[in-house]
Amino acid sequence: MGEGGMKKLFHAVVVVGAALTGAGCGDDEGGSKLDASAVADASVSSDARVADAAPGSDAQPDARADGMVIIL
Amino acid sequence: MTERRALPAADADPTIAALPAGTRALLAELWTERAASELAAGEAFAAVERDLAALDADPAVLALAARAVADEPEHAALCMLLAEAYHGAPLPLPAPRPFQLPVHDGADDVLRRHLHVVGLCCINESIAVAFVAACLADAAGPLLAGVHREHLADEIGHARVGWAHLGSARVDAEVRAALIPWLPRLLTANLAVWHDRIGILPEAGVPGHALPPARALRAATIAAAREIIVPGFAHVGLPTAAAATAVDRAAR
């Protein structure tokens, strides 16, 4: 995900989400709340390639006690 | 759940028909497994919805959570649509992947409920947003792109459950103080689980089929943590230094 794409996702997820119950204004970009479908549509053509990260993870003993499953 | 749009017919996607039989079989298997995970996610959201009700969460949060519960079986159906497209014939819906909410040893019952919301929605679903966005960018065919577009829109809604809750008055100063020491632990644990699961995927991915190389998917999870979740905690007024350090550690 390019830098701009991740910023848009941050806005769509966090800023709009928190604004639903009162934190922040939720419409500080473009004057309107971002619609989730519009964000998804925009992501089709965005540069969503991600930068490389070092492989491997840093599993901790508490991973099974505190981790959540997912979509994978 | 967003309003569903019509998807292309499964047999009308030339990118699927063009794949070798072995790759199609692999992708059919992966999408069947994904369907099982989506069914488990539905159970997880149902449990978190109960947690939120017990916490007397904001009505807006409860409404979002209810939608998420309804979305996950639909996601499973979309996964099976892809599985059958790759398989070339109908397949049975799998059983849900076994799932249990984390125990969070040391947390009392109220804090554990809040941790479930933060773990599933703020962390796991925010990571899912970046993961699905990366997959969508690698989806060449119309059916794959359509399914991932639907999925991404819904994942955004699911992540909002957590951020709306953290932004609400129901999460008071006492709860915030109790949550703070758990944030790096939750991030570490969730990233580890994601990286474990990514580890079972083909290292080189399947280009054009919404399956980028594993290193790119790992990077997407780290980018989500660095650019969505940690700044998200700051956005709702939580300190982030320890969480950021945990992400740096997970990225090594």
Query: What is the per-residue pLDDT for B6?
Result: 65
B3 inside domain = no
Tokens of B12: 């009308």
**Which band of pLDDT confidence, cut at 50, 70 and 90, is reported for residue A5?**
confident
CA distance, residue B226 to nearest chain A CA (Å) = 10
B216 CB neighbours in chain A (<8 A) are 49-50, 52
Domain count, chain B: 1
A37 CB neighbours in chain B (<8 A) are 2-3, 149, 153
Q: What is the pLDDT along chain B (252 residues), one digit of tens a residue?
A: 455 566 666 667 888 988 999 999 999 999 999 999 999 989 999 999 999 999 999 999 999 999 999 998 899 999 999 999 999 999 999 998 888 889 899 999 999 999 999 999 999 999 999 999 999 999 999 899 999 999 999 999 999 999 999 999 999 999 999 999 999 999 999 999 999 999 999 999 999 999 999 999 999 999 999 999 999 999 999 999 999 999 999 999
A22 inside domain = yes
B5 inside domain = no
Query: What is the per-residue pLDDT for B7?
Result: 66
A20 inside domain = yes
A64 inside domain = no
| Contact flag B119-A67 (C-beta cutoff 8 Å) | yes
Per-residue pLDDT tens digits for A17-62: 999 998 554 444 433 345 666 666 555 433 322 222 222 223 333 4
B4 inside domain = no
| Contact flag B163-A18 (C-beta cutoff 8 Å) | yes
Within 10 A of B9 (CB to CB), how many other CB atoms are there?
10
CA distance, residue B127 to nearest chain A CA (Å) = 9
A64 CB neighbours in chain B (<8 A) are 102, 189
Domain count, chain A: 1
Question: Which position has the higher pLDDT, A14 or B98?
Answer: A14
B141 inside domain = yes
Residue B144 belongs to domain spanning: 13-96+107-251
Residue B37 touches partner A, C-beta closer than 8 Å: yes
Give the one of B40, B227, B228 whose C-beta lies nearest to A69's C-beta. Answer: B40
| Contact flag A43-B162 (C-beta cutoff 8 Å) | no
Is the Cβ–Cβ distance between B101 and B44 less than 8 Å?
yes
Looking at residue B208, which CATH number applies to its domain? 1.20.1260.10
| Contact flag A41-B149 (C-beta cutoff 8 Å) | yes
Residue B45 touches partner A, C-beta closer than 8 Å: no
Residue A44 belongs to domain spanning: 3-50
Going by C-alpha positions, the residue among B250, B60, B53, B195 that lies closest to residue A58 is: B250
Give the one of B127, B134, B168 whose C-beta lies nearest to A22's C-beta. Answer: B168
Tell me phi and psi for residue B169, to 5 degrees: -70, -15
DSSP string across B82-145: HHHHHHTS--PPPPPPP------TT--HHHHHHHHHIIIIIIIIHHHHHHHHHHHHTB-SHHHH
B42 inside domain = yes
A63 inside domain = no
B6 inside domain = no
B118 inside domain = yes
